[in-house]
Amino acid sequence: MPRYLIDAILAAIAANAFGPEISDVWDSDTEIEVLPTSLRYAMLEAFQAGQCARR
């Protein structure tokens, strides 16, 4: 899978899990605090995206 598609998928997962404000810090060195429930949701989204990409 091309790198630009991986970047787009990761950006979409982050926006869905953490909200649109994640795009403000996506390419910066800013530290953010992530709640365990948001991280769990993001990991589930990533897993499901991986399953779809494999099919």
What pLDDT shows up at residue 3? 87
Residue 27 phi, psi (nearest 5):
-105, 25
- Specify the residue for token string 């499901």: 48
What pLDDT shows up at residue 7? 83
C-alpha 37/C-alpha 32 separation (Å) is 15
Residue 14 and residue 22 in contact, taking contact as beta carbons nearer than 8 Å:
yes
pLDDT over threshold 70, residue 55: no
- Specify the residue for token string 């909200």: 19
What is the residue extent of each domain of the chain?
3-54
pTM above 0.85, yes or no: no
- 3-46 confidence digits (pLDDT tens): 888 888 888 888 887 787 777 777 777 777 778 888 888 888 88
Residue 15 and residue 23 in contact, taking contact as beta carbons nearer than 8 Å:
yes
* Residues counted in the chain: 55
